[in-house]
Structures are given as structure tokens and as C-alpha cells.
Structure 1
Amino acid sequence: MLKKIKIKYINLPIQVRASFWFLICTFTQKAVNVITTPIFTRLLSTSEYGEYNVYTSWLGIFTVFISLNLSQGVFMRGLLKYKNHKDEFASSMQFLTLILVLSSILIYLPLSHVINNMTNLNTTRTILMVLTIWLTSIFGFWAAEQRVDYQYKKLVPITLIVTITGQLFGIILIKNFEDKVTGRILGTLIIDALFYMWLFVIDIKKGKTFINIEYWRYALSFNIPLIPHYLSQVILNSSDRIMIERMVGTSAAGIYGLAYSISQVMTMFNTALAQTEEPWLYRKIQDNNIEAIKPVAYISFIFIAIVNLLLILLAPEIISVFAPKAYYDAVWIIPPIAMSVFFSFSYYFFAVFEYYYERTKPIAIASCIGAGVNIILNFVLIPVFGYYAAGYTTLLCFIIYATFHYYFMRKICFSELNGKEPFSLKVYLSIAFIFIVLGFLIQFTYNLRWIRYLFLVVFFAVSFLKRKTILLIINKLKNIKKGE
């Protein structure tokens, strides 16, 4: 039996094997972060946990400004564009990012007092943040090279070792540092430095190219116009914690941050499905076979809705496992944030048409509107309703975000596909409406445990009775992975 499985695995195309291991790697990373969360919430007070969440929020924002996200989409495109000079392109991007990082430190030092007042971070944490941005960019470049060449045997073990040891070392430093938050930051940073610095050296030695104006012009001209989009996405996901910390306090930011982290675990399903379906969607658009997208879209929307409803159902138990009683109020924030994950996933199906036809302007517009509305609503509602309001503003803004992307998708379908649409708006809205209604109904049962448990019994009973249908759906998604 095992021998047959091994032979079947060996006979799989390298692309399928690589995709499988990249997916396993992503899930394991998320799993390690989830498993260690209960440890960190017990080692850190709600206030300290809030400080760390605010730090990670600023980390996301400053990453866009300092690194210009050069290790993301543009680098992958560049590796394909300059496929005969990949090593030279990679080393030049590594050196350009190093220059950006050093320049940011030189700009920061004379302005440290002003910037520290703006971020509520001290100089030590800010310098550690900049170094973290550089090290993660190094890994981002190297990881993209491995993905292009399907070198999963190198990428997967390094990723998992760094993830696990970084978490463990963070725990050790928290226990031995008076400043526990800085210990948490430094624990991850030291492990990143030990593993990623040599990746930087390898890329530089292979490419032997420091400055190449053609490569730099290409990367900067592509990514700089997308900065509003990248920044808006970060703000949409991070501004809540920063604003809560400023308006309510670090303890509230910690409680909200825990709820957000738990809810965002479900994005692993978003990532998994997106990585599976995105190449397939591109092929269907290319072949003008838009009708084939419809059943897959409906299955995907329903699947994401169900896993998030399950999270909402189990939220009180999950919170009790993940954190002590001081964090329990996080349970009331999980439902709206979990619902926002559904609309975040919808974005993938809408935006794929924008990316395929290279309509980057609508992408930036939708992102900026979503982020702008999020900041305004938080500014108005948090002082009135407290930090709970941030969960509902997040949900509303992701609905707006998805709506604009759907609108732009329809315009593209009208102009490029003779009005063909990948799915019915009526069906999508029906799924979304039922999902939201059920999500809020479940939330109302948090103080009525027996009703919530009845919901769970019904859920598992229906799953058992419909197991054949569920298996057919899983097989359908497997066939997508094979390109059928």
C-alpha cells in the first residue's frame, strides 16, 4: 500500500508536488503560530500582548514604505522576465532593498523623537522593526526563487525550522527579559538573522550584481504605483489595533488583537483555495470558458462560509483554550471579524479578472476606499461604542471592499468578455446573506450554551448525512488542482 502511494507520488508532475508541499508549509506555519498563542497570552498581560500587536501593525505599515514590497509580485514577474539572468536580477534586488533599509535608518535617526511619538514605539523596537523588514525581505526574495524553480525540498524545511525555533526562542527570551515585548520581538529577529543572512550572501555571490539600472527601473516603476494598494491592504488589516491602542489603551488592543488573530486563522483556508484555484481561473479566462467558473465559485463561497460559521460556533471554547479569563471579551469580536474573512475571500474571485487584464488602477481604488472608510468609521465609532466597534467596522469595510471589486469585475466582463459573468450576483448575495444571519444568530447564543451546542449537533448531523455530497465537492476541488 505504502509502496503504491510512493510510486504514485513520484509520478506526479513536479508542479503538483511542489504545490502540495508549499501548501503543507503554509498550513504548518499557521498551525505553529496557533499552537503557541495560548503560551504567549499567558506569558504576556493583556497590555503587553496589545503592545506586541500594535508593533506588528506598524511593522506591516513600515514594510510597505521601507521595502516597497519589492519581494512580492514584481520580483516573481522579474524572475520570469529576466529568466536568463535570474541570479543577477535577484542579487540586484537584494542590494536595492539593503540600500532602502540603510536609507530608512539614516532618515529615522534624526527624526526618531517625532516618529516615536507617532508610533508609541521606542528607538530600540523601531530599529529592531527595520532589521526585521530587511530579513523578511531577504527570505521573500529567496523563497520566490525557490517557488519559480519548484525547489520545495529547500524552502519547506528552512521555513518550518525558522518558524518553530523563532517561537521557542521568543518564549525563552520573554521569560528572561524584564521588557517582555522586546524579548518577544528579539527572539524572532535573532533566529531570522541566523538563517536568513546566509541566504543574502548566497544570492549576492551567485548574481554578483549590485547595481543594475534596468532592473531597478523595472521593479520601481511597477511597484511604486501599487504602494497605495499595498498600504491600503495593510491599513485595512492593521489600523484597528493602532487606533484602539490610542483611543482606549494597550490592554484593549491586546484583547482585540487576540480575537483578530484567532479569526484570521481561517485565512489559511482562503490561501489554500486561492493557491489551488488561481492558476485554474486564469486558464478558464484565457480559454473564454467563463461558465466553468460558476459551480466552483459557489462551492468555494459555501465552504469558506461554513468553516467560519464553525469558528463562530466554537469561539467561547477557543478563547478559553487560547487565553486566560482576562482575554474573554475577545469572544464578542470574533463573529464580525470571522464574517469579514468570507468577503476577503470573495476578493480573490473578483480581482483575478482585474489582474488578468492588468487593470491595476481599479485594484488600488477599491483598496484605498476600503482602508479610508475603515479609518473614518473607527475614528467616529470607537470613542462611542468602545473597541468592539472595530470588529464591525472591519466587517463593513470588507463588504465595501468586495463590492467595489465585484463592480470592477463586471465592467471588465462587459468590455472584455461580451458581458459573460462568472456567477450569478443573486446566488452570491443569497450565500452571503444566509452566512451573516447565521453568524449573528450564533453570537446571540453565547450566553445560552445549550442552544449553541444544539447548533453544533445539527451541524455535525447534517455533515454526516451529506457526507457523499461533501466528498463529491472535495473531489471537484482536487480535479481543479489537476487542471481539469
Structure 2
Amino acid sequence: MLVSVRSKYQSLPKQVKASIWFLLCSFLQKGISMITTPIFTRLLSTSQYGQFNVFNSWLSIVTIVVSLNLCYGVYTQGLIKFDKDRAEYSSSLQGLNLLLVLIWTVIYIFSSSFWNQLFSLTTVQMLAMLLMVWTSSVFNFWAAEQRVVLRYKALVVVTVLVSLAKPIVGMILVVNADDKVTARIVGLALVEVIGYTGMFILQMRRGKRFYSKRFWIHAVLFNLPLVPHYLSQIVLSSADRIMIAKMVSSESAGIYSLAYSLSQIMILFNTALSQTLSPWIYQKIKDKRAHDIAGVAYGALILIATVNIILIAFAPEAVAIFAPKAYYDAKWIIPPVATSVFFMFAYDLFAKFEFYYERTSLIMLASTIGAVLNIALNYLLIPIFGYYVAGYVTLLCYILYAIFHYIFMNQICRSELGTQPYNTKLLLGITSVFMAISLLFLVSYTNVLLRYMLILIIIIIGIVKRKYLMQIIGLMVKMRKQRR
């Protein structure tokens, strides 16, 4: 049987093999971290776990401000647009990213006390944060290029080694340190520096261009208007933890962070599918064949809905496995946050058209509205209903976020392509069924028998519809073969 599987794998086109490995890389990169969560929730107190996750929230925000998120948005689009100068384009953006990090590091050094007080972090934590801004960007530049040119072997090796090293080094440092939060942060920074610096050197040697006026201007003009958009995304996904820590307590932020971390498992599917679909979708838009996208998009949405329902169904058990009793209230936060993951993926499908046609003002408008609403509602409702409400505020904002991007996408497609790529009724049908099932499971948390009956019904439906589900998965894997 193993020989048969191997022979079938060997006969697959390179595009299909690459798709399989890119999906596995995305899971490995975050999955190993998730598997080790039960260890760190026991090595760190709820307060320390909350502090570490607040650091991660600040890291996400600082990364955007410092690096302008050049490794996303403009870079993936540029790898397709400037395919004849790909090596030079990559090295010049690596150069621009390094320059931005160095400038901000100098700014920090000359006013460190101000920034330390603002973020409630130490100097060591802040310097580690700036270092991780650079290393993570270096990896994302290199990894994006590997995906576009379908080179997966090196990406797999680096992903596995770094993903394994992070928790191992982290555990060693945390166990032997008095300041366990700083030890966890320094461990991550150390592994990334060792694991990712070589990629910077590699792309710089190949491209031989640190500065390119053409590419720097294009990248800055493209991504600078997107900074509010990227910040808004982080606000939607991270501001609640920061606000809970400030308005309630670090312990509450720790409990909420666990629920969010468990939901991150589902974001792995989002990231994996999005990274696999992005080059293909851009190519279809470029070829004026947007109608080819719909079938793949519907299947992807159903797949994302299915995996999120699985998490919601077993949320109480997941919390019990990943953390001690002090975290058990996190189960009530998982359903709204996991449901939000579905709308994150939906928004990305719609925003691809905005990115391709460089309608950055529309992207910024939708994102800013969602972020402002998120902060305002959290500020008003957390003192009244407690930190649980932050999960439902996040869900509401992501629903509105997806709606705005859907409206803007249709406007762009009507003017540029003369058609709409998706069927509104079909999208509403998929979304309604998903949300109804999620709500049923949330209600069933107080009745174990009812919840397991619902799980049994879902399993039966899954068995009956297994061929359709396998077709969806098969379509995701084979999708790259259609790339022109």
C-alpha cells in the first residue's frame, strides 16, 4: 500500500506536489506551537500567559508600523507583476525592510523610556520585538517567493526545524529563568535570528540590489495606504486582549488569549488555503477569467466552515486538554471567535480583487470602519458585560468587514470585468447554515448529552456527504494545476 501511495505521489504534477507541501508547511508553522500550548499554560501563570500574549499583540501592531507589511500585499502582487526582475525585486524589498527596521530601532534607542512605558514592556522585550519584526519579514519574503516559483523542499525543511526549535528553546529558557515572560520572548527571537538570517543573505546575493528607486517607490506607494488596513486587521484580532488586560486584568487577558489561541488552529486552515489560492486567483483576474474562481471559493468556504464547526463542537474538551482549570471559562469565548475565522477567510476572497486593481482606498475604508467599531464597542461593553463580550464584538466587526469588502469587490468587478464573480444567494446560504450550527453548539455547552447528539448528527451528515467533502479537498489540492 505504501508503494502504491508513493507511486501515485511521484506521478503528481509539480504544481500539485507544491500545493500539498505548502499546506503542510502552514500547518507545521503554527501547529507545533499549538501542540505545545498545554506545556506553556502550565509553565506560566494565567497572568504571565496574558502578558506574553499582550506582547504578541503589540508585536503584530509594531510589525505593521515598522515594516509597512511589505512582505504581504505588494510583494505577492509584485512577484507576479515583475516576474522578469523577480530576484532584483526581492532583494530590493529586503533592503527596504532592513532600512525601516534600523531607522525605528534608532528612534527607540533615543527614547526607550517613553516606548517602554507606552507598551508596558522592558528594554530587552522591546529590542527582541524589533528583531522579530525583521526576522519574520525576512522569512515571509523568502517563503512567498518559494510558493510562487513552486520550490517547496527548502521551505519544508526550514519550517520543520524552526517550528520544533521554538518551543524546545522556549521551554529550556522558561524553566531556568526568573523572568519567564522575557525568557519566552527571547527564545523566539533567538531561534528566528539563527533560522532566518540566511534567507536574507540568499535573496540579497541573488538579486544584488539593496536599493531600487523603481521598486521602493512602487512598494511604498502601494502599501503605505494599506497601513490603516493592516492595523485595522490587528485591532480586530488583537486589541481586545490589550483592552482586557488594561480594563479588567492580566488573568482575564490570559483566559481570553487561550480561547483566541485555540481558534488560531482554524486560522491555520485560512492561512494555508489563502497562500495556496492567492497566486492562482491573481492569475485568473489577470487573465480576465474571474468566473473560474467561484467554484473553488465556495468549496474553500465550506471546508473552512467545517473545520471551525469541529472546534466549536469540542471546545470544552479542547480547553480542558490545553490548560488547567483556571482557564476553563475560555470555552464560552471560542464559538464567536471561531465563527469570526470564517468571515476572515471570506473577506480575503473578496479583497483579492481590491488588491489586484490597487484600490487601496477602499480596503483602507472598510478596515478602518471595522477597527474603530471594534475599539468603541469593546470600550463600552466590556465594563458592562465582562471580557466575554469581546469575542462577540469581534464576530460582529468581522461580519461587517466581510460585507463591506463584498460590496467594494462587486463595484470593482462591474467596472473592470463587467461581471460579479460570486453568487450572493449561495454565499448567504453557506454562511447561514454555518452560523446556525455554531449557535446550536454554543447553546448545548450546558447540556453534554445534547451536544454529543448534535456531534453524532454532524458525523452522520459528514459520512453521507463524504464524497462531496473529498471533492472539495481534492479541488483545493488540484487547483494549482489550473494555474496558467
Instruction: Provide the TM-score with structure 1 as the length reference.
Output: 0.92
**Shift of the alpha carbon at 1:6?**
4.1
Amino acid at match of 1:306: T
Root mean square deviation of aligned Cα: 2.4
**Shift of the alpha carbon at 1:210?**
3.5
Distance 1:360 1:93 in 2: 19
Distance 2:87 2:473 in 1: 40
**Measured at CA, do residues 154 and 173 of structure 1 come closer, stay the same or move farther in structure 2, by a change above 3 Å?**
same
Greater Cα shift, 3-12 or 297-306? 3-12
**Per-residue deviation, residues 372-398 of structure 1 (Å, max 9, x unmatched):** 111111111111111111101100000
- Equivalent position of 2:263 in the other structure: 263
**Shift of the alpha carbon at 1:443?**
1.2
**Measured at CA, do residues 279 and 47 of structure 1 come closer, stay the same or move farther in structure 2, by a change above 3 Å?**
same
Distance 2:361 2:196 in 1: 34
- Equivalent position of 1:320 in the other structure: 320
**Contact 2:23/2:276 (<8 A) preserved:** no
**Shift of the alpha carbon at 1:426?**
2.9
**Shift of the alpha carbon at 1:88?**
4.1
**Shift of the alpha carbon at 1:439?**
1.6
**Count of residues paired in the alignment:** 483
Amino acid at match of 1:436: M
**Shift of the alpha carbon at 1:98?**
2.5
**Measured at CA, do residues 58 and 91 of structure 1 come closer, stay the same or move farther in structure 2, by a change above 3 Å?**
same
Distance 2:461 2:60 in 1: 41
How do residues 3-18 of structure 1 correspond to structure 2 at under 5 angstroms? 3=3, 5-18=5-18
Distance 2:291 2:208 in 1: 49
- Equivalent position of 2:73 in the other structure: 73
Distance 1:214 1:104 in 2: 23
**Shift of the alpha carbon at 1:72?**
2.5
- Equivalent position of 2:348 in the other structure: 348
**Shift of the alpha carbon at 1:128?**
1.0
**Shift of the alpha carbon at 1:472?**
3.8
Larger RCO (alpha carbons 8 Å, 6+ apart) = 2
Greater Cα shift, 135-144 or 337-346? 135-144
- Equivalent position of 2:194 in the other structure: 194
Amino acid at match of 1:120: S
**Per-residue deviation, residues 389-434 of structure 1 (Å, max 9, x unmatched):** 110110000001001011112222332343x333332332233233
1:124 aligned onto 2:124: yes
How do residues 332-343 of structure 1 correspond to structure 2 at under 5 angstroms? 332-343=332-343
**Measured at CA, do residues 99 and 286 of structure 1 come closer, stay the same or move farther in structure 2, by a change above 3 Å?**
closer
Structure 1 unaligned segments of length 5 or more: list them.
none
**Per-residue deviation, residues 35-76 of structure 1 (Å, max 9, x unmatched):** 101111111111000000000000010001111222223334
Amino acid at match of 1:438: I
**Shift of the alpha carbon at 1:271?**
2.6
**Measured at CA, do residues 325 and 285 of structure 1 come closer, stay the same or move farther in structure 2, by a change above 3 Å?**
same
1:423 aligned onto 2:422: yes
**Shift of the alpha carbon at 1:329?**
0.8
For the residue of structure 2 that corresponds to 1:362, the secondary structure is: helix
- Equivalent position of 2:453 in the other structure: 454
How do residues 39-438 of structure 1 correspond to structure 2 at under 5 angstroms? 39-80=39-80, 83=83, 85-282=85-282, 285=285, 292-418=292-418, 420-438=419-437
**Per-residue deviation, residues 206-261 of structure 1 (Å, max 9, x unmatched):** 44433343333232222222211121112211111111111111111111111011
- Equivalent position of 1:480 in the other structure: 479
**Per-residue deviation, residues 267-292 of structure 1 (Å, max 9, x unmatched):** 22223333444455445555655555
Distance 2:33 2:12 in 1: 31
Instruction: Provide the TM-score with structure 2 as the length reference.
Output: 0.92
**Contact 2:16/2:477 (<8 A) preserved:** no
Distance 1:109 1:79 in 2: 35
Distance 2:238 2:86 in 1: 34
Distance 1:452 1:276 in 2: 34
Greater Cα shift, 330-339 or 217-226? 217-226
Amino acid at match of 2:399: I
**Per-residue deviation, residues 335-392 of structure 1 (Å, max 9, x unmatched):** 1001111111111332233234332221121111111111111111111111111101
Amino acid at match of 2:16: V
**Measured at CA, do residues 214 and 434 of structure 1 come closer, stay the same or move farther in structure 2, by a change above 3 Å?**
closer
- Equivalent position of 2:470 in the other structure: 471
Distance 1:38 1:254 in 2: 13
Distance 1:104 1:24 in 2: 34
Greater Cα shift, 256-265 or 79-88? 79-88
**Contact 2:241/2:256 (<8 A) preserved:** yes
Distance 1:146 1:373 in 2: 37
Distance 2:88 2:302 in 1: 45
**Contact 2:256/2:330 (<8 A) preserved:** yes
Amino acid at match of 1:344: M
